[in-house]
Amino acid sequence: MATALHHLSDYDFDKVPDASNMCFGIVVAEWNKEITGALLDGAVRTLQKHGCLPENIHVKTVPGSFELVYGAQQMTKNDGFDAVIILGCVIKGETPHFDYICQGVTYGIARLNASQNIPVIYGLLTTNDFQQAQDRSGGKLGNKGDECAVDAIKMAKF
């Protein structure tokens, strides 16, 4: 989680493996696309910073965060990927809908990680408001997309 003590884009560059022979799938939700587009930019930029070739980054969109589980499951069926990243943003509204979507995605991705051979990295922002989402998608607390890219490379190596 991003806190005053942890900036999402801060990491030790030298501890990240070389990604020049790796291939990644990214599933990104269209809901709150100003935020998810910024998460995607961060993830792609960081993968490339560590040597991943643009043609080895495969991006697919889904309508909303709830569909990220299906999208990730389809991608994990492709042996060519070393890791899959999901990117979404759920912002709390006036009803309990937020809780159901967040729980559904979280359990779904956890289940995929326990049952498939390809690691799935959890890039879901779950925020109380739009400002908190902006702060974590390239704003004052960094970019969750950067963090997910670094984690995807590390897990691919694992």
Q: Are 26 and 87 in contact (CB under 8 A)?
A: yes
Q: Is 86 in the site for ligand DLZ (CB under 6 A)?
A: no
Question: Applying CB under 6 A, which of residues 64, 139, 154, 155 lies at the interface with ligand DLZ?
Answer: 64
Q: Which two tokens stand for residue 48?
A: 């490339």
- CB-wise, 89 or 149, nearer to ligand DLZ? 89
Q: Is 90 in the site for ligand DLZ (CB under 6 A)?
A: yes
Query: Which region among 39-47, 50-58, 89-97, 129-137 touches ligand DLZ (by CB under 6 A)?
Result: 89-97
Q: Are 82 and 24 in contact (CB under 8 A)?
A: yes
Show contacts with ligand DLZ in window 16-55 (CB under 6 A).
29, 31-32
Whether residue 97 lies in the annotated active site: yes
Question: Applying CB under 6 A, which of residues 56, 65, 137, 143 lies at the interface with ligand DLZ?
Answer: 65
**Angle between helix 97-115 and 68-76 (nearest 10):** 10
Burial readout 12-51 (b: 16 or more C-beta within 10 A, e: otherwise):
eeeebeebeebbbbbbbbebbeebbbbbbebbbebbeebe
By the criterion CB under 6 A, which residues form the site for ligand DLZ? 29, 31-32, 63-67, 88-91, 93, 97, 101
